[in-house]
């Protein structure tokens, strides 16, 4: 089932809901304080990413049979898909300890050396946002990953000397939302590379049902699918929407029914495809103020009151995944799909017509 198939006519949205935290942001927010209790701890509990799970089962079973550390693992994909959860599952399935840190937190080479030398044999070291490691720390990882030793410079000037420290065999699990920003020498040292995909509404429905059970929330199956279909293919967003819908249900002293889920999500301005007010504002601005485009990013940012970087990094990716907008040499344009979703009569520009033609699958001109 696609996200377009989950779109229903008749949704209307008020403009009164606002928050400093964007509820549809896949990044971890302060309001996700109890997210850890919702994380699965085994591969059997983990929903979705079936190909990755099947392969990891084999790799983990073989490593345990040999009594060795699992090969280094790189997990990449959009935020909120379960990279951190999967790293902890790897450690649990291997039966070893896990040490967690992040690229920005490792400011000095000494910080990385301290973490590496404290690792027990065959344990897991998890580095989130590994693409943000500084260059010096990254180069320390090369011998650590290949030969399980690090060369550490002690002192400065003429009296400085290099000390080679032997490490216990370990598994480095790196997670990133921007795999292209990882230096090739580092990327090549990962033996297992996994790309996490967006979840289907059916898979997210199972995740919502599981989370509701853990949180002791009474919810109908139809409401699970309703929440899942508006969650942009992201488990973190699905769990966040579940908690907000629960608030509406508790105020009405009711279980989460389909009607309450629809009412709550409408109040939150989340439509049938998972677009919020700002997403629709960007589309309407391109269509109403610039005749469907093309329009430059800076012009679009000025017209919507959003930062250009925010539009490019936060809002555009999902709109492009849906095929609602495209980037062209002259600027952004809206497709026929965007007009249909907003129920606006289609007014095609020359570039938009070319975009729609490519969407229809005619590649004869390429």
Identified catalytic residue from 83, 187, 332, 336: 83
Q: Write the CA distances from 286 to 72, 279, 321, 332, integer angstroms.
A: 45, 11, 17, 8
* Residue 278 zone, left/alpha/beta (φ > 0; ψ -120 to 50; rest): alpha
**Known catalytic membership, residue 84:** yes
Please give the Cα distance from 351 to 332 (Å, whole number): 10
* Annotated catalytic residue 236: yes
Catalytic-labelled residue, pool 84, 176, 234, 278: 84
Residue 69 has what DSSP assignment? P
Taking the C-alpha atoms of residue 100 and residue 90, their distance in angstroms, rounded to an integer, is: 13
Q: 287 to each of 188, 219, 292, 297, how far by Cα in Å?
A: 44, 39, 4, 14
Tell me which residue of 104, 101, 103, 106 sits closest to 87, measured CA to CA.
101
Residue among 85, 128, 246, 332 flagged as catalytic: 128
Q: What's the CA gap between 218 and 221, in Å, rounded?
A: 10
The count of other CB atoms within 10 Å of the CB of residue 248 is 17
For residue 279 the two structure tokens come to: 């997403």
The single residue of 230, 232, 236, 243 carrying the catalytic annotation is 236
Check if the beta carbon of residue 288 is closer than 8 Å to that of residue 296. Answer: no
Cβ-contact 137, 112 below 8 angstroms: yes
Annotated catalytic residue, options 85, 171, 177, 278: 177
SS3 category, 287: helix
Catalytic annotation present for 128: yes
Pairing state between β 73-76 and 170-176: parallel
Q: Which residues of 2-39 are buried (b: 16+ CB within 10 A; e: fewer)?
A: ebeebbeeeeebeeeeeeeeebbbbeebeebeebeebb
Task: Catalogue the active-site residues.
Answer: 83-84, 128, 177, 236
């Amino acid at each position: 089932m696609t996200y377009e198939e989950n779109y229903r006519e008749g949704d209307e949205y008020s403009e009164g809901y606002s928050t400093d935290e964007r509820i549809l942001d896949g990044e971890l927010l302060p309001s996700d304080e109890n997210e850890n209790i919702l994380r699965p701890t085994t591969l059997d509990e983990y929903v979705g990413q079936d190909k990755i799970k099947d392969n990891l089962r084999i790799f983990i079973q073989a490593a345990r049979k040999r009594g060795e550390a699992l090969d280094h693992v790189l997990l990449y994909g959009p935020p909120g898909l379960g990279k951190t959860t999967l790293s902890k599952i790897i450690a649990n399935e291997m039966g070893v300890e896990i040490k967690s840190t992040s690229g920005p937190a490792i400011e000095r080479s000494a910080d990385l050396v301290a973490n590496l030398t404290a690792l027990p044999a065959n344990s897991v070291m998890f580095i989130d946002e590994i693409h943000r490691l500084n260059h010096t720390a990254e180069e320390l990882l090369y011998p650590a990953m290949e030969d399980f030793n690090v060369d550490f410079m002690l002192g400065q000037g003429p009296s400085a000397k290099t000390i080679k420290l032997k490490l216990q065999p370990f598994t480095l699990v790196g997670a990133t939302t921007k795999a292209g920003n990882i230096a090739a020498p580092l990327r090549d040292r990962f033996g297992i590379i996994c790309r996490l995909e967006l979840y289907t509404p059916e898979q997210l429905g199972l995740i919502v049902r599981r989370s509701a059970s853990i949180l002791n929330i009474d919810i109908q199956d139809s409401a699970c699918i309703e929440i899942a279909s508006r969650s942009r293919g992201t488990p973190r967003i699905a769990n966040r929407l579940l908690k907000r819908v629960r608030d509406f249900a508790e105020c009405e002293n009711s279980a989460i029914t389909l009607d309450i889920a629809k009412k709550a999500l409408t109040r939150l301005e989340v439509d049938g495809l998972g677009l919020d007010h700002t997403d629709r504002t960007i589309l309407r601005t391109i269509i109403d103020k610039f005749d469907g485009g093309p329009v430059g990013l800076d012009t679009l940012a000025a017209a919507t009151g959003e930062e250009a970087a925010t539009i490019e990094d936060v809002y555009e990716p999902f709109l492009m995944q849906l095929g609602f907008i495209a980037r062209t040499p002259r600027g952004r344009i809206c497709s026929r799909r965007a007009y249909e979703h907003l129920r606006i009569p289609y007014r095609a520009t020359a570039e938009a017509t070319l975009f729609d033609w490519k969407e229809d699958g005619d590649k004869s001109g390429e």
